[in-house]
Chain A
Amino acid sequence: MPRRRCVHQPAMLTPVSFESVQAEAARMTSRVSSNTAFWLPVWTLAVRELVRFFRQRTRVVGAVGQPLLFWVLFGAGLHGSFAPPPWAPPNMTYQEYFFPGVAVLIVLFTAIFSTISIIEDRREGFLQGVLAAPISRLSLVLGKLTGGAVLAELQAGLFLALAPLVGLSLTLPAALAVLAFLLLLAFTLTALGFLIAWPLDSTQGFHAIMSVFLMPMWLLSGAFFPAGETGWLSWVIRLNPLTYGVAGLRRLLYLDRELPVATGLPGLATCLAATCLFCAACVAGSVWVASRRSSHDAR
């Protein structure tokens, strides 16, 4: 019987024929190789960021040194005039208040330093070699962002190890949550930097945007001073997407103490959602600007 079926209904056997197995194998191979084609460039671009960073020691000083100096000096200077916000835990000093803000500043500075290199790469010619390679622009963007975000995570993570100095003690799960959230923030701010740096052709232009946009964004995020309940400034702080990043980090640092919801200190779920949204918008924007083939690419 089986033989007869074989002869009379060959069509029924084709789904398991050797050809179809071979085709399936080929499909799987091509899936594997297209994975390689996507992730290998991401990997190599990210590694390049790290290698370059560790070969330019002065960048470490810039990205960690200045925020650290801010923390120590402003912390000492503003100690007397600081009025803790209503939601603050008892005996909060300014240094303690400022602590998550400094961590975000380190992330911001690292993001700026690593994306400013896009402008240098374009000017020196390195970028055109990458643009002429058969890689998707998404790989390019992810490679750059991963490199920058890992650097930011490393430096801000080191800074957060100082938490006991301001009386914060983190359990291991809380510390991991802080680091994970920090990584999300690092990705977001690196993508924001990418979005700004990609169309520019001078580093001076980036510095200008840094002074009038990025620094104010940080200053008005609840990182430097707490938001008042009313007034236009409180609205700026509420509408600033980075407010949710700083507040999210602050909440995770005080995970055991349940700070009340207040202006400039939204609930943890709101912070997470807003930061994820901000991240998605910046990454999508970066992929979009990098995908346009324009005369700018050939400079």
Chain B
Amino acid sequence: MTSPPAIVVENLSHRYGERQALSQVAFTVGPGEIFGLLGPNGGGKSTLFRIMATLLPVQEGVVQLLGSDVRGAAAAVRRKIGVTFQSPSLDRKLTVRENLTHQGHLYGLRGADLRRRIDERLARLRLSDRAGDRVESLSGGLARRVEIAKGLLHDPQILLLDEPSTGLDPGARRDLWDYFHLLRESAGVTLVVATHLMEEADRCDRLAILDAGRLAAAGTPTELTNSLGGDCLTIRCGDAPALSRALAEQFAVSPRLVAGQIRLETPHGREFLDAVIDAFGGQIESITLGRPTLEDVFVQRTGHRFWSDADDETASAAAARK
């Protein structure tokens, strides 16, 4: 990359009292990149997100956005970034337009310029006909679009999005991502998307996988899935735990149970598939051979499943913040 990076994070550590929320996290994001922060809830991505949004102090390490240090030049950083929070930062008693006007004023915009920007964003996000409605009357998906319009009002060079698809149906989610790509292509906006959704992470140019406050892996989705090598088998059957034990015994592999199905990686998928069908064909309902997913990458890099530990982490994070 020839142009200087949009975001530089070096040796970033953060603690909430006793709990280490981030330890020694480092990555860079190039200008115009769509960068994903993937991890289970409580994995540290929200903490990282809030530090980048200048809401949390930098305790240890360096965070630079567009060359400005978040620690020293928070005001300069705030002018250049747009932030879309997971919990809507909208005033529910105000109308859509009033919310956007308020936001514009906070960023020093006013008058005809502000009105033009609001109209343009509303049209772009297909909200024009709801401009006069109070936010409390909007559906979750519409409110999220208002939230995004709000983050884009001052033409930020970096847009930070925390779980942007929360509450959106698949169609709206697709539209939203098309819009993200358009933003990147037409305005060169750098996007950072914190997400726990694999399919969303898959649409990023590059991503960092965070687990228990550590950077477990970073790279393009393809690089990450290729790094596992080989193929991935998914087996659906009646008694998954029993079959999983039998497979482990017979083939010396380490299958996992994911949502009631058996998953395992193997360097030679075709041969292994045949062998499994020969041995256990009667018990199997269906068997799929495919490329490894980001979830497989996560499991392989962290040594544990994406969801089960995530729930414990959320509980302990909630406890730590009390």
Interface residue? B12 (CB, 8 A): no
Contact in complex: A51, B55 (CB < 8 Å): no
Cβ-defined partner of A133 (8 Å) among B16, B98, B107: B107
Nearest chain B residue, comparing its CB with the CB of A136: B75
A-contacting residues, B187-212, CB 8 Å = none
Known A129-B150, A132-B53, A134-B79; contact A52-B93, beta-carbon cutoff 8 A = yes
Cβ-defined partner of A132 (8 Å) among B54, B57, B108: B54
Chain B neighbourhood of A51, CB < 8 A: 93-94, 98
Contact with A along B102-133 (1 / 0, CB 8 A): 11011110100000000000000000000000
Contact in complex: B93, A55 (CB < 8 Å): yes
Q: State which size class the interface on A falls in.
A: 20 to 34
| A299 to B: closest C-beta gap in Å | 7
Known A51-B98, A134-B75, A295-B16; contact A129-B103, beta-carbon cutoff 8 A = yes
Contact in complex: A48, B56 (CB < 8 Å): no
Contact in complex: A43, B105 (CB < 8 Å): yes
Contact in complex: A33, B108 (CB < 8 Å): yes
Q: How far is the CA of A132 from the CA of B151 in the complex (A)?
A: 10
| B51 to A: closest C-beta gap in Å | 9
Chain B neighbourhood of A295, CB < 8 A: 16, 56, 321
| B79 to A: closest C-beta gap in Å | 4
Chain B neighbourhood of A136, CB < 8 A: 75
Known A51-B94, A52-B93, A125-B88; contact A133-B106, beta-carbon cutoff 8 A = yes
Known A124-B87, A295-B56; contact A135-B93, beta-carbon cutoff 8 A = no
- Chain B residues within 8 Å of chain A by Cβ, number: 35
Chain B neighbourhood of A55, CB < 8 A: 93
Known A48-B102, A134-B107; contact A293-B56, beta-carbon cutoff 8 A = yes
Contact in complex: B110, A48 (CB < 8 Å): no
Q: How far is the CA of A36 from the CA of B107 in the complex (A)?
A: 10
Cβ-defined partner of B55 (8 Å) among A33, A44, A132: A132
Known A33-B108, A132-B53, A133-B106; contact A125-B87, beta-carbon cutoff 8 A = yes
Contact in complex: B87, A298 (CB < 8 Å): no
| B57 to A: closest C-beta gap in Å | 5
Interface residue? B60 (CB, 8 A): no
Q: How far is the CA of A299 from the CA of B16 in the complex (A)?
A: 12
Cβ-defined partner of A293 (8 Å) among B57, B87, B105, B321: B57
Known A125-B88, A294-B57; contact A37-B94, beta-carbon cutoff 8 A = no
Interface residue? A222 (CB, 8 A): no
B-contacting residues, A131-147, CB 8 Å = 131-136
Interface residue? B305 (CB, 8 A): no
Chain A neighbourhood of B50, CB < 8 A: 298
Interface residue? B298 (CB, 8 A): no
| B107 to A: closest C-beta gap in Å | 6
Contact with A along B66-84 (1 / 0, CB 8 A): 0000000011101101010
Interface residue? A40 (CB, 8 A): yes
Chain A neighbourhood of B107, CB < 8 A: 133-134
Q: How far is the CA of A48 from the CA of B74 in the complex (A)?
A: 25
Known A132-B83, A133-B107, A295-B16; contact A125-B89, beta-carbon cutoff 8 A = yes
Contact in complex: B56, A297 (CB < 8 Å): yes
Contact in complex: B87, A44 (CB < 8 Å): no
Q: How far is the CA of A298 from the CA of B54 in the complex (A)?
A: 9
Interface residue? B85 (CB, 8 A): yes
Contact in complex: A36, B90 (CB < 8 Å): no
Chain A neighbourhood of B94, CB < 8 A: 48, 51-52
Contact in complex: B56, A56 (CB < 8 Å): no
Interface residue? A126 (CB, 8 A): yes
Interface residue? A29 (CB, 8 A): no
Interface residue? B91 (CB, 8 A): yes
Q: How far is the CA of A44 from the CA of B108 in the complex (A)?
A: 10
Contact in complex: A40, B90 (CB < 8 Å): no
Interface residue? A130 (CB, 8 A): yes
Contact in complex: B91, A126 (CB < 8 Å): yes
Chain A neighbourhood of B85, CB < 8 A: 125, 128-129
| A34 to B: closest C-beta gap in Å | 9
Contact in complex: B93, A132 (CB < 8 Å): no
B56, B103, B108, B110, most chain A CB atoms within 10 A = B108
Closest 6 pairs (CB-CB, A-B): A129-B89, A44-B105, A125-B87, A134-B78, A133-B106, A298-B50
Interface residues of A (CB under 8 A from B): 33, 36-37, 40-41, 43-45, 48, 51-52, 55-56, 124-136, 293-295, 297-299
- Contacts A44-B105, A125-B88, A133-B78 known; 18 new A-B pairs at CB < 8 A: A33-B108, A40-B108, A41-B105, A43-B105, A45-B102, A125-B90, A128-B55, A128-B87, A129-B90, A130-B89, A132-B78, A132-B81, A133-B106, A134-B75, A135-B106, A294-B56, A294-B57, A295-B56
Chosen A-B contacts, 11 in total, with CB atoms closer than 8 Å, are: A33-B108, A40-B106, A48-B91, A125-B88, A126-B90, A129-B85, A134-B108, A135-B106, A293-B54, A295-B321, A298-B47
